[in-house]
Amino acid sequence: MISDSRALALELHLRACPSVVCLGVRPNFADYPPQEAAMIREAGKVYYPSIFYADMFAAMGKPIFPSIHNYRFVQDKIKQTALFEILDVPRPRTRIFYGKRLQEKILSYFAFPFVAKIPRGSSLGRGVFLIRNPDDLDKYCSLTKTAYIQEYLPVDRDIRVVVIGDEVSHAYWRVAAEGEFRTNLACGAGIRTGKVPGGALRLARDTARKCGWNDVGIDICIYRDRFYVLEANMKYGKAGFAHAGIDYFSMMEDKIRNGRI
């Protein structure tokens, strides 16, 4: 029998936390053994319920972490951008194009160079392209029927701000590799833990709060003395925590223990 004092999670995200029991995500609820099914039904909160079960628990009124809004916007740049526009979050000029004649439509709004992204499911810098000329644009448009186009801001670094609960848990600079415009660590970027401007921290925290996201890495750049939100990552990496000597799992256990998440 698992102690009632342990927090309950479905996804294995917190499997290294001794105070959390992770049951795994079963595609059929009936596949959970009776004891585990009862634990889920009786839990005061379910951590990392998965995108599959999050809506169900939300419909039941069962508290979950992260929020239902985290799951509804995960890896969907189109929905994120629409929300940023509604909330007037400062961001690079961005537009989504559909249908035929994508190149013609895009060039009626943007001049080279600009950034093009695969709008759904891309991460770690994959599916992100700097479009410098018509050939680049042709190649990009051959990959997708929905074009996500963003103003190119010529910066060589940005700031990853991780908001967990309602507070900034960590923030660090990501510096692009030489000859690379992407600041993703998977694309060779380096981590710098120097002082992060307070304006970036406030913008990230306020953006997360307005969007209803409580476990998110928000990427912010500074261009001509202004802060811009580039995108939000609900599946952010932990390398920044390790680089700063922060034990991510101990931190999460502390937040759970103190009711901060």
CATH of domain 93-151: 3.30.1490.20
How far is the C-alpha of 130 from the C-alpha of 115, rounded, in Å?
5
Q: Model confidence at 5, in pLDDT bands (50, 70, 90)? A: confident
134 forms bridges with which residues in the sheet? none
Would you kindly state where each structural domain of the chain is located, as residue ranges? 7-65, 93-151, 155-257
Considering the chain, what is the average pLDDT of its residues? Answer: 95
Task: With a cut of 50, say whether residue 46 has pLDDT above it.
Answer: yes
Average pLDDT for 108-113: 98
What's the pLDDT tens digit per position in 51-80?
999 999 999 999 999 999 999 999 899 999
> Can you tell me the mean pLDDT for 176-203?
94
Confidence band for 121, pLDDT divided at 50, 70 and 90: low
Answer yes or no: is pLDDT of 2 > 60: no
- Specify the amino acid at residue 238: K
Is the pLDDT reported for residue 123 higher than 70? no
- Residue 1 pLDDT grade (very low, low, confident, very high; cuts 50, 70, 90): very low
**What is the edge-to-edge ordering of all strands in the sheet holding 46-47?**
20-22, 7-9, 46-47, 64-65
Query: What gap in Å lies between CA 178 and CA 259, rounded to an integer?
Result: 43
Of 168, 126, 162, nearest to 238 by C-alpha is 162
**pLDDT value of position 153:** 97
Rounded CA gap, 201 and 180, in Å?
25
Closest by CA position to 163, among listed 260, 80, 87: 260
In 54-145, the DSSP E strands lie at 64-65, 94-98, 114-117, 128-131
User: What gap in Å lies between CA 35 and CA 184, rounded to an integer?
Assistant: 42
How far apart CA 187 and CA 174 sit, in angstroms, is 11
Dihedral sign from CA coordinates of 12, 13, 18, 21: negative
Confidence band, pLDDT 50/70/90 cuts, at residue 109: very high
Just give the CATH number of 155-257. Answer: 3.30.470.20
Q: How does pLDDT run across 139-183, given as a tens digit for each residue?
A: 999 999 999 999 999 999 999 999 999 999 999 999 999 999 999
Alpha carbons 108 and 173: distance in angstroms, whole number: 34
What is the DSSP-derived secondary structure letter of residue 187?
G
